[in-house]
Amino acid sequence: MRHPSPTGERAVPREVTALASVLLAPNPGPMTLDGTNTWILRAPGATGCVVVDPGPPERGHLGAIAAAGPVDVILLTHGHIDHSEGAGPLHDMTSAPVRALDITHRLGEEGLTEGDVISAAGVEIRVLATPGHTSDSLSFMLVGDQVAVLTGDTILGRGSTVVAHPDGRLGDYLTSLRRLRDLGDVTVLPGHGPELPAAGRAADAYLAHRQARLDQVQAALTAGDTTASEIVQRVYADVDPALWPAAELSVRAQIDYLRERWHHLAALPESHHA
Where do contacts with Zn ion occur on this chain (CB under 5 A)?
A: 80, 153
Least distance from Zn ion to the Cβ atom of residue 267, Å:
32
Contact between 182 and 220 under an 8 Å Cβ cutoff? The reply is: no
Within 10 angstroms of residue 260's Cβ, the number of other Cβ atoms is 11
Q: Which is nearer to Zn ion, 153 or 256 (CB)?
A: 153
Residue 126 CB-half CA count within 13 A = 10
Residue 69 CB-half CA count within 13 A = 21
Q: State the pairing for strand pair 148-152/138-142.
A: antiparallel
The whole-angstrom separation of Cα 147 and Cα 180 is: 13
Least distance from Zn ion to the Cβ atom of residue 78, Å:
6
**What are the DSSP E strand ranges found in 30-75?**
37-41, 49-52, 71-75
Least distance from Zn ion to the Cβ atom of residue 238, Å:
23
Q: Which is nearer to Zn ion, 81 or 208 (CB)?
A: 81
Q: Which is nearer to Zn ion, 172 or 225 (CB)?
A: 172
The whole-angstrom separation of Cα 137 and Cα 113 is: 10
Least distance from Zn ion to the Cβ atom of residue 224, Å:
33
Rg (CA), the chain: 19
Q: Which is nearer to Zn ion, 26 or 63 (CB)?
A: 26
Q: Residue 104 CA to chain centroid, in angstroms?
A: 18
Least distance from Zn ion to the Cβ atom of residue 127, Å:
17
Least distance from Zn ion to the Cβ atom of residue 98, Å:
17
With CB atoms as reference, the residue minimizing the distance to Zn ion is 80
The whole-angstrom separation of Cα 42 and Cα 121 is: 5
- Residues 6+ away with beta carbon under 8 Å from 241: none
Q: Which is nearer to Zn ion, 154 or 187 (CB)?
A: 154
Q: Which is nearer to Zn ion, 125 or 163 (CB)?
A: 163
